[in-house]
Amino acid sequence: MRDKYFIWAAMNKPQQVTLVRDVEAALVPVGQKVTLKKGQTVTIVQAHAGTCTVAVDGNLFWIDCKDADALGLSPAENPCAQIHHKLTQEEVEQLVWKQLKNCYDPEIPINIVDLGLVYECKLTPGECPDTYNVHIKMTLTAPGCGMGPWIANDVREKVLQVPQVHDVTVDLVWDPPWSQDRLSDAAKLQLGLL
């Protein structure tokens, strides 16, 4: 985990902020729910699409986009909010993948698509006409990571923002195991592996 912190420091400029209110967070990588207290100074080491990873006293914590105001940040805008017309299945699928690219592993500053964590994304007809159910199979970089439920919930909430998506199922799978070979070229370049 320590090596990953140095990757962040090289790629982002950490920013110290004081919490303006109590905020629920998850201890990374175990996923234990904690409350960070108002007035506490935290260092933002990663902020993407409304989720933030902060450092406090040598520990890392993940904060959901709905609580960005606790850090003095504006919540991320839903990129799908301006769509007011009926979409084709292909357009819905494109928006689903766009939303998946707004989901991040709290320990690595690269979206889950470019990390190669998404193994499958299927749309099937929903209960109502012109609606879709989305089934996603994804993995994590390490099977023992306690952040799996947090990341899966973030995926589910972001994909549910896509118009005409009725339901989202996210399954965490471990076969095949994730490896660096699954990284996109963009991710490899960002991590200095190319």
- Secondary structure in 3-state letters for the chain: CHHHHHHHHHHCCCEEEECCCCEEEEEECCCEEEEECCCCEEEEEEEECCEEEEEECCEEEEECHHHHHHHCCCCCCCCCCCCCCCCCHHHHHHHHHHHHCCCECCCCCCECCCCCCEEEEEEEECCCCCCEEEEEEECCCCCCCCCHHHHHHHHHHHHCCCCCEEEEEEEECCCCCCCHHHCCHHHHHHCCCC
Q: Which class is domain 2-71?
A: mainly beta
* CB burial string 5-31: b at 16+ within 10 A, e below: bebbeeeeeeeebebeeebebbbbbeb
Backbone angles phi, psi at 170, to 5 degrees: -120, 120
Backbone angles phi, psi at 13, to 5 degrees: -100, 105
For the chain, where do the domains classified as CATH 2.30.30 start and end? 2-71
Q: Which homologous superfamily does the CATH classification assign to the domain defined by 89-190?
A: Fe-S cluster assembly (FSCA) (3.30.300.130)
Report the distance separating Cα 165 and Cα 95, nearest Å. 10
pTM of the complete model: 0.80
Tens digits of pLDDT across the chain (194 residues): 333 433 334 345 788 999 999 999 999 999 999 999 999 999 988 877 667 889 999 999 999 878 888 988 776 666 666 666 789 999 999 999 999 999 998 888 899 999 999 999 999 999 888 899 999 999 999 888 889 999 999 999 999 999 999 999 999 999 999 999 999 999 999 888 87
Cα torsion angle, 20, 25, 77, 184, sign: positive
